């Protein structure tokens, strides 16, 4: 289609001749020069798009962010905020004259307001437990936001409850006793302790001058979260005002057994406080991300069908509603025939069309769905597209687009003509310096002759007459995929620039290749997926430019698990790099926080009837094979990783050291499942590439 072709062309690099003269291979420090563009939001009248630009401050070891404005019709962007702190989550007022955003410029995260024409931002909230993820009611008379509070104070009036929350926080900070006491699971998540707090929704009334009218009120008091605590079940804005502004509809985590249940529901509560009503209680699986049509007559939301399975297919449902958001019939899936999970979605102003994203063979296209005809078509097929946003008038769609060749940038297109109207250019100057090779997609026959897609990058200055070392990267998840996208953590262009051919396979379990392909990883981590991966290796070994005597592999999370599985099953790799990977299925289950994941993948608890699943593919049970292959391993594992706790890495390192196998363990005490702090990230990259170079010499021979 015309607009697809336009966007694809914009992502292509300069002609080869120009590259040879002006471009160079990417370096580690280049990764931190890129500005991090995200969260585009179209002004209701459609003339501007607000978005966030993050800038790495290496000396301060942090990323600061500011809000920028870009004309949707094209032109130069201008910076709206410049606090030197973290300004994020911009949301336009319904009249398009102001932007509500969150910032830590006053210390912790609070809500601020700024006019579109600039001037000084004004602080709107002073909540001791911080305020985040705010949005407006349709009439602009109210805002709602999220704050994590202690539930025992939540039924009191705001002044008293906020004072009690502050008192407890201060007492804990000053006390020399740092003991934590737990009485139930889900006491920690990802990289932080929950401390028995609950994510509650607050509503704040506004005056005509957009000042606070009274105090915020907690409309979801009690010992239950009212906002997703897991990113798996969140699509950013997980609650919304009803069309009449009198209710909030929100994604509610499970009321009970939240560590092993995926029964997220859409609930409704009056904005003045009152009884919470569950609207999707008939579905035992996850429901979430409610969004009303512009005419207020329909509600769209995402839902899964299989309880306990976080990687089940997300379908898009639509239901008729009244102005208060009350359901008027039964929800119907409008993507039942699409064999892929719906991610982000947005209504068009006509209320008869939905735009959404869903993975497709390593890309994240934008689809257009007509509710009148039921027809779905790809609007934009290439690259990775996300953060869809439309104004009230249309037909301008703004979104973020990234690829292997470009970090995320904001695009605006005219839906009627398919014409690209504008694009942010924050990273154009850095990209112009770099030689970023094109990426090739190949298909390999995997287990049972099922095709496996794989990306291949060749290093800058590649000479096909020479043989090059290979780095084989395995993605995490395992229900995930290597996408035609950009990463600030595992960037294949940066790996290729070290002098390696880089391969990124999408084996069994990868998303975007149909739900059956996703399902086939469950309970079979070391089975068909491993066979797929080894088929990919066999394909690469046959390529005339690959040096089969210089091969390495690396991966994180599930990819880290697979490095551990490689270590006890094959000697093909000269070295393995495992980041936050699983070594022992029993200890993983007993220490991770989201139990539903392991219970689904193993068909129950470790002491249950499916005990064999915990034993069959657990690398630790085959530790003696480490001595057979004696593959040197670099292990990276972090203290704040509560998804794959540090005990997994320590067990592996202990075993390798006891066997006298060359090994090195890097531990970041201030990082979680990922390495996010800029100085830590730079150190991580330098250590990884130095280890790689030690065992697999880079460059063609």
pLDDT, one tens digit per residue, over 237-267 is: 999 999 999 999 999 999 999 999 999 999 9
> What is the DSSP secondary-structure string of 387-453?
EEEE-SS-SEEEEEEEETTEEEEEEEEETTT--EEEE--TTHHHHHHB----EEEEEEE-GGG-EEE
362-365 long-range CB contacts below 8 Å, 24 or more apart? 362/441, 362/453, 362/455, 362/481, 362/482, 362/483, 362/484, 362/506, 362/512, 363/483, 363/484, 363/512, 364/483, 364/485, 364/512
Cα dihedral 337, 339, 341, 342 sign: negative
| Domain boundaries along the sequence of the chain | 440-695
Residue 112 phi/psi, 5-degree rounding, is -130, 160
Cβ–Cβ < 8 Å for 283, 303 = yes
Q: Is 256 exposed, middle or buried (0-12, 13-18, 19+ CB in 10 A)?
A: exposed
Write the pLDDT tens digit of every residue in 363-376: 999 999 999 999 99
Structure tokens of 96? 């398009």
Write the pLDDT tens digit of every residue in 549-594: 999 999 999 999 999 999 999 999 999 999 999 999 999 999 999 9
Please tell me the predicted confidence (pLDDT) of residue 45. Answer: 87
What is the 8-class DSSP label of residue 327?
B
Element (H, E) at 71: strand 62-71
Write the pLDDT tens digit of every residue in 3-33: 333 343 344 344 443 444 589 999 999 999 9
Indicate the average pLDDT of the chain: 94
Interatomic CA distance for residues 592 and 575, integer angstroms:
28
Cα 142–chain centre separation: 29
Residue 516: CB atoms within 10 A of its CB come to 10
Please tell me the predicted confidence (pLDDT) of residue 10. Answer: 42
Structure tokens of 175? 């006390």
Please tell me the predicted confidence (pLDDT) of residue 596. Answer: 96
Interatomic CA distance for residues 334 and 345, integer angstroms:
12
Mean pLDDT of 613-628: 97
How many residues appear in the chain?
701
> What is the DSSP secondary-structure string of 36-69?
EEEEEEE-TTSSEEEEEEEEEETTTTEEEEEEEE
Would you say residue 441 has pLDDT above 70? Answer: yes
Please tell me the predicted confidence (pLDDT) of residue 305. Answer: 97
Would you say residue 42 has pLDDT above 60? Answer: yes
492-496 long-range CB contacts below 8 Å, 24 or more apart? 492/404, 492/439, 492/455, 492/457, 493/26, 493/404, 493/405, 493/434, 493/436, 493/437, 493/457, 494/26, 494/27, 494/28, 494/30, 494/31, 494/685, 495/457, 495/471, 496/437, 496/457, 496/458, 496/459, 496/460
Interatomic CA distance for residues 379 and 3, integer angstroms:
8
> What is the DSSP secondary-structure string of 259-282?
TT----EEEEEETT----EES-TT
Among candidates 353, 350, 394, which has minimal Cα distance to 370?
353
Percent of the chain with pLDDT over 70: 97
Structure tokens of 472? 């084989």
Among candidates 475, 476, 459, which has minimal Cα distance to 467?
459
Would you say residue 466 has pLDDT above 70? Answer: yes
Mean pLDDT of 467-473: 98
Please tell me the predicted confidence (pLDDT) of residue 46. Answer: 75
Write the pLDDT tens digit of every residue in 637-662: 999 999 999 999 999 999 999 999 99
Interatomic CA distance for residues 633 and 662, integer angstroms:
7
Percent of the chain with pLDDT over 90: 92
C-alpha distances (whole Å) from 155 to each of 183, 200, 217, 298, 543 are 22, 11, 9, 32, 67
Interatomic CA distance for residues 226 and 108, integer angstroms:
21
Please tell me the predicted confidence (pLDDT) of residue 118. Answer: 73
Identify the CATH class of 440-695.
Answer: alpha beta
Within 8 A by CB and 6+ apart from 404, the residues are 436, 439, 455, 457, 484, 485, 486, 492, 493
Residue 408 phi/psi, 5-degree rounding, is -55, 140
Residue 635: CB atoms within 10 A of its CB come to 25
Element (H, E) at 118: strand 118-123
Q: Is residue 564 classed as helix, strand or coil in its secondary structure?
A: helix
Please tell me the predicted confidence (pLDDT) of residue 21. Answer: 59
Would you say residue 394 has pLDDT above 60? Answer: yes
Q: Is 446 exposed, middle or buried (0-12, 13-18, 19+ CB in 10 A)?
A: buried
End-to-end CA distance of the chain: 43
Within 8 A by CB and 6+ apart from 507, the residues are 446, 452, 474, 528, 529, 532, 533, 536
Write the pLDDT tens digit of every residue in 123-168: 999 999 999 999 999 999 999 999 999 999 999 999 999 999 999 9
Would you say residue 105 has pLDDT above 70? Answer: yes
Write the pLDDT tens digit of every residue in 215-241: 999 999 999 999 997 778 998 899 999
């Amino acid at each position: 289609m015309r607009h697809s072709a336009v966007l694809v062309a914009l992502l292509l690099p300069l002609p080869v001749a120009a590259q040879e003269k002006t471009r160079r291979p990417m370096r580690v420090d280049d990764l931190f020069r890129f500005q991090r563009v995200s969260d585009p939001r179209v002004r209701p009248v459609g003339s501007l798009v607000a978005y966030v630009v993050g800038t790495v401050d290496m000396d301060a070891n942090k990323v600061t962010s500011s809000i920028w404005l870009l004309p949707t019709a094209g032109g130069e962007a201008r910076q709206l905020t410049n606090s030197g702190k973290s300004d994020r989550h911009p949301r336009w007022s319904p009249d398009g004259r102001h932007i509500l955003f969150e910032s830590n410029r006053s210390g912790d995260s609070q809500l601020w307001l700024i006019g579109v024409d600039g001037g000084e931002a004004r602080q709107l909230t002073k909540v001791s437990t911080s305020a985040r993820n705010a949005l407006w009611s349709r009439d602009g008379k109210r805002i709602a936001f999220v704050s994590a509070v202690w539930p025992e104070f939540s039924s009191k009036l705001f002044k008293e409850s906020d004072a009690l929350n502050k008192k407890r926080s201060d007492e804990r900070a000053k006390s020399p006793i740092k003991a934590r006491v737990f009485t139930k699971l889900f006491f920690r998540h990802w990289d932080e302790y929950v401390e028995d707090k609950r994510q509650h929704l607050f509503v704040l009334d506004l005056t005509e001058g957009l000042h606070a009218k009274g105090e915020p009120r907690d409309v979801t008091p009690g010992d239950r979260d009212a906002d997703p605590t897991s990113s798996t079940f969140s699509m950013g804005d997980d609650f919304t005002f009803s069309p009449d502004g009198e209710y909030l509809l929100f994604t509610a985590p499970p009321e009970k057994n939240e560590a092993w249940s995926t029964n997220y529901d859409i609930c409704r509560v009056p904005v003045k406080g009152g009884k919470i009503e569950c609207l999707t209680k008939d579905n035992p699986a996850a429901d979430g991300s409610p969004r009303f049509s512009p005419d207020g007559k329909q509600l769209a939301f995402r839902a899964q069908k299989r309880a306990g399975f976080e990687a089940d297919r997300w379908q898009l449902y639509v239901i008729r509603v009244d102005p208060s958001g009350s359901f008027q019939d039964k929800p119907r899936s409008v993507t039942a025939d699409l064999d892929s999970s719906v991610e982000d979605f947005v209504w068009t102003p006509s209320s008869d069309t939905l735009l959404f994203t869903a993975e497709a063979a390593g890309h994240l296209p934008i689809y257009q769905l007509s509710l009148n005809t039921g027809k779905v078509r790809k609007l934009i097929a290439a690259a990775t597209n996300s953060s869809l946003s439309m104004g009230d008038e249309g037909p301008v769609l703004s979104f973020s687009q990234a690829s292997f060749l470009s970090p995320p940038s904001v695009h605006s297109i005219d839906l009627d003509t398919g014409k690209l109207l504008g694009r942010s250019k924050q990273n154009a100057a850095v990209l112009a310096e770099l030689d970023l090779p094109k990426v090739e997609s190949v298909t390999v026959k995997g287990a049972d002759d099922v095709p496996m897609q794989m990306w291949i990058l060749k290093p800058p200055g590649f000479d096909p007459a020479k043989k090059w070392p290979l780095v084989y990267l395995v993605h995490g998840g395992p229900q995930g995929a290597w996408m035609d996208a950009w990463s600030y953590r595992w960037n294949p262009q940066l790996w290729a620039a070290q002098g390696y051919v880089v391969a990124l396979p999408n084996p069994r379990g990868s998303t975007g290749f149909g739900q059956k392909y996703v399902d086939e990883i469950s309970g079979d981590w070391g089975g068909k997926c491993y066979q797929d991966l080894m088929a990919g290796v066999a394909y690469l070994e046959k390529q005339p430019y690959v040096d089969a005597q210089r091969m390495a592999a690396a991966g994180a999370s599930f990819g880290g698990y697979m490095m551990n599985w490689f270590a006890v099953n094959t000697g093909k790799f000269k070295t393995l790099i495992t980041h936050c990977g699983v070594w022992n299925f029993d200890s993983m289950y007993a220490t991770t926080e989201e139990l539903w994941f392991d219970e689904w993948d193993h068909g129950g608890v470790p002491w249950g009837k499916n005990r064999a699943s915990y034993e069959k593919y657990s690398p630790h049970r085959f530790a003696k094979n480490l001595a057979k292959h004696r593959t040197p391993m670099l292990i990276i594992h972090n203290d704040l990783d509560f998804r794959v706790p540090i005990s997994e890495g320590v067990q592996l390192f202990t075993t390798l050291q006891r066997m006298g196998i060359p090994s090195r363990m890097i531990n970041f005490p201030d990082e979680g499942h990922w390495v996010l702090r800029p100085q830590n990230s730079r150190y991580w990259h330098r250590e990884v590439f130095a280890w790689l170079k030690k065992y697999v010499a880079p460059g063609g021979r």
